[in-house]
Amino acid sequence: MGKSKNSEQRQCQPVVLMYHGIVSRTSASPPEREAGAGFYDVTAENFRAQMEYLKTNGCTAQRDVILTFDDGEMNNFEEALPMLKEFGFTGYFFIIAQRVGRQGYMGWEELRALHEAGMVIGSHGFSHEILTNLQDTQIQEELAASKKYLERNLEIAVESLSVPRGFCNDKILQMAYKAGYKSIFISERPAGLKSACLSRIAVKSHWLLRRFIQAMDGRTPAGERIFEFSKNGFKQIGGGALYDWMRRMMLKIK
C-alpha cells in the first residue's frame, strides 16, 4: 500500500471494497436492478486501473484489501474475473439466489467457474429484500434459503453473507450467525451496532483513480461525506421506500 500516514494507520486491518457492476460498452444491465444501481457501475477500464494500482503498491488480498462484488451480475464474470486472475487477487462474490441464471446474472456454470478459480461465493439474500422490513420468520427464510440453495447447487460451503441493500441491525446479524454464516459484510456501519461484521467502502461509477487512492488511504472529500451522511440518515429514519425515493432524487434517476 502507499506510505501515507492514514494508510500506515490502517495497515493492521484490510480495506474492504464493495463493487457491483463492472461494465464495458457492450455490457447489458439486468432488468431487475434496483433504483440507482448504475451509480455503482465501474467501467472495466477504471477497474483495471484500480487493480494495477493495488498490485503496483504491493497490496495483498486479504491482508491489505478485500474485494467484494454484490448481486452476481454476468459482467462480474465477463469483466472482473479475468482481471482478478491477471493481477492475482481473490474476490468475494455475493449472489442473489433467486436471480441465478436470470437475464444479466450469472448462472450455475459461471458460479462454478468462479469457485474453481479460487473466488469465494457468498449469499446476498434469497430475493434481495430489505431485511429490516421483514418479520423474523421471513428474515430467517431469506438467510437460510439462500445459503442452502447455493450450497445444494454448487456443492460447496457458503459461509459469507453480504446483507442486502445495507439495512441491518444487531438482531439481523445475530440471526445470520445462527444460520451458519461465519463472515458478514455490510455497507456503512450504522451508529450503535455492536455485532461483529465488516463494513465496506462502496466504489462508485464517477471515481477516477485519484479518488480511489483517497479511499484506500481512508480519506473522503467533504461533499461526499455530506452525501453519505444524508443517505444514511434516510436509511435509518425512513426505511427502504423513502431511501429509494431519495436516491432517485439525489442521483437524478427517473
Residue 216 Ramachandran class (φ > 0 left, ψ -120 to 50 alpha, else beta): alpha
Give the DSSP letter of residue 189: P
- The predicted structure's pLDDT at residue 190: 86
Q: What is the pLDDT of residues 137-156, one digit of tens each?
A: 999 999 999 999 999 999 99
User: What per-residue confidence (pLDDT) applies to 225?
Assistant: 63
User: Which residues contact residue 118 at a Cβ distance below 8 angstroms, ignoring those fewer than 6 apart?
Assistant: 90
Beta strands in the chain (DSSP E): 15-19, 22-23, 42-43, 65-71, 91-95, 120-123, 160-162, 183-185, 201-202
- In this prediction, residues 74-88 reach a mean pLDDT of 98
pLDDT in tens, 177-197: 999 999 999 998 888 899 999
Q: Compare 8 and 200 and report the one with higher pLDDT.
A: 200
Residue that wins the pLDDT comparison between 62 and 217: 217
Q: Among 48-57, 59-68, 163-172, which is the least confidently predicted range?
A: 59-68
Mean pLDDT over residues 53-74, rounded?
92
Q: Is 72 exposed, middle or buried (0-12, 13-18, 19+ CB in 10 A)?
A: buried
pLDDT tens by residue, 198-250: 999 999 999 999 999 999 998 888 766 665 655 555 556 555 555 555 555 55
The model's pLDDT over 89-127, given as tens digits with 9 standing for 90+, comes to 999 999 999 999 999 999 999 999 999 999 999 999 999
Q: How many Cβ atoms are within 10 Å of 223's Cβ, its own excluded?
A: 8
- Say whether pLDDT at 3 is over 50: no
The three cell numbers locating residue 95 = 449472489
Question: Residue 126, SS3?
Answer: coil
- This prediction has a pTM of 0.87
Q: Which strands make up the sheet holding 15-19, listed edge to edge?
A: 183-185, 160-162, 120-123, 91-95, 65-71, 15-19, 201-202
pLDDT value of residue 4: 47
Residue 34 has a pLDDT of: 84
HEC letters along 193-246: CCCCCECCEECCCCCCHHHHHHHHCCCCCHHHHHHHHHHHHHHHHHHHHHHHHH
Specify the pLDDT at position 46: 98
Rounded to the nearest integer, the mean pLDDT of the chain is 88
CATH 3.20.20.370 for domain 5-219: yes
DSSP character for 76? I
Under 8 Å between Cβ of 186 and 170 = no
| pLDDT greater at residue 134 or residue 35 | 134
Q: What is the pLDDT of residue 36?
A: 81
C-beta of residue 162 within 8 angstroms of C-beta of residue 123: yes
- Greatest pairwise CA separation for the chain in angstroms: 48
User: CA-CA distance, 247 to 234, in Å (whole number)?
Assistant: 9
Domain parsing of the chain, residue ranges: 5-219, 222-254
All three cell numbers of 233, joined, read: 440518515
% of residues, the chain, pLDDT over 90: 70
First to last CA, the chain: 40
- Residue ranges of E strands in 5-76: 15-19, 22-23, 42-43, 65-71
